[in-house]
Structure 1
């Protein structure tokens, strides 16, 4: 299992969500947190994940519907339901949808970690390759694993959000990236305030990349961005 194994976590309880993100990231997973089913589906459609952990009772779209939509697009990605719903009928419904495990709250974090690792080992899913963690951007070398942007042997350590935004843009170099797709993948929620925050990070990245005039993050009005390099 790679340190870069990516997990889509969809959990509407902010406290539970942030605790799980911290725990999973401390065990060297890459985690994208979404707070409702609609944003979770948008994130899943915008990038690839190795694993999904879904709550069931959520606004916008419940976990059962989200799992059904994910399965319609990907038959093999592992899915765990993590929910307070303990009824046998709910468990049966989940397994009939093709989920790999059903964990009820409250739960033990170490047990959850063992379940995730067991499913990954059993499925033998491919992990993120080195080419997905190290990118060439003009004269820059971007090491996403270590959050480093390097040019002419000068390194800049990016913040986590800067790193995630640039990594997403690198995965779609010279292609239009829609604002909502980027917001869903990195912030987990599409709203006005996160949109303003995203614009601030794009401005910072433009400043970091200005040492190579061949590289720019082009703004496509009302649509999104293109990382040209």
Structure 2
């Protein structure tokens, strides 16, 4: 099995070396870059599985880099590893395309756990995308062509409906937080996006109404669980 390849951007050389060596001891392959202006060169030269970015960097800052990386690879997980952890920093990071945020100082155990979680979600999403059909009780879901079928009934899904249903399928029988859904589908948890999520959940429930074995259960104060 190929090793997970990590792009790690950190201008504190001592910290960068320690984290790189710690990751390498756990069998990760790490490319360490210390200057913001060198990041895209590394990204174009290598095929990375995950990015860990500091925000305060010489040259281009981490937020600008995340936006540029997102244009090159919309799916790659991005973790911000930084001392900047105020609410406005979190919002800026997520809007720039980040998937997670870890405050310095941090433990390697936390970093590894968050990396593994994002890589697992990425792998699950690729599995859903790669399969032509997913059986959801009496329905067949075709994510590649955004269709839901039950016998002779055909439902054409919108892009957001398709992405939301994929996320529910990936997390079948698991609790999935509203904040996580909003971040994955809309990019932030703004109030209006939260209301939009309610609308899309209602739509999906309506599509599955013909089969009582399929339920999108509301977990009060948490999110949802998709069972079938």
TM-score (norm 2): 0.53
Q: Which residue of 2 aligns with 1:81?
A: 80
Q: State whether residues 3 and 29 of structure 1, in contact with CA within 8 Å, keep that contact through their aligned partners in structure 2.
A: no
Q: 1:162-216: per-residue Cα shift (whole Å, max 9, x none)?
A: xxxxxxxxxxxxxxxxxxxxxxxxxxxxxxxxxxxxxxxxxxxxxxxxxxxxxxx
How much has 1:3 moved relative to structure 2? 5.3
In structure 2, C-alpha distance between the alignment counterparts of 1:83 and 1:35, rounded to whole Å: 14
Residue correspondences, number:
126
1:54-203 aligned at under 5 Å gives the runs: 54-124=53-123
The 3 A distance-change label for structure 1 pair 56 and 46 is: same
For residue 20 of structure 2, give the secondary structure of its aligned residue in structure 1.
helix
Greater relative CO (CA pairs within 8 A, separation 6+): 1
Q: State whether residues 3 and 28 of structure 1, in contact with CA within 8 Å, keep that contact through their aligned partners in structure 2.
A: no
In structure 2, C-alpha distance between the alignment counterparts of 1:74 and 1:3, rounded to whole Å: 20
The 3 A distance-change label for structure 1 pair 109 and 3 is: farther
How much has 1:123 moved relative to structure 2? 1.1
For residue 124 of structure 1, give the secondary structure of its aligned residue in structure 2.
helix
How much has 1:122 moved relative to structure 2? 1.3
Q: 1:115-143: per-residue Cα shift (whole Å, max 9, x none)?
A: 001111111079xxxxxxxxxxxxxxxxx
The 3 A distance-change label for structure 1 pair 125 and 53 is: farther
Q: 1:33-67: per-residue Cα shift (whole Å, max 9, x none)?
A: 00011111210022210000000000011000111
- Give the root-mean-square deviation of aligned CA atoms: 1.7
Q: Which residue of 2 aligns with 1:145?
A: none
The 3 A distance-change label for structure 1 pair 82 and 21 is: same
Q: Which residue of 1 aligns with 2:43?
A: 44
How much has 1:101 moved relative to structure 2? 0.2
* Structure 2 stretches lacking a partner, 5+ long: 126-228
How much has 1:98 moved relative to structure 2? 1.9
In structure 2, C-alpha distance between the alignment counterparts of 1:104 and 1:113, rounded to whole Å: 14
In structure 1, C-alpha distance between the alignment counterparts of 2:19 and 2:2, rounded to whole Å: 17
In structure 2, C-alpha distance between the alignment counterparts of 1:46 and 1:100, rounded to whole Å: 23
* Structure 1 stretches lacking a partner, 5+ long: 127-229
TM-score (norm 1): 0.53
Q: State whether residues 37 and 60 of structure 1, in contact with CA within 8 Å, keep that contact through their aligned partners in structure 2.
A: yes
Structure 1 residue runs of 4 or more that deviate by more than 6 Å after TM superposition:
none
For residue 111 of structure 1, give the secondary structure of its aligned residue in structure 2.
helix
Q: 1:87-126: per-residue Cα shift (whole Å, max 9, x none)?
A: 1101101111221101110111101100001111111079
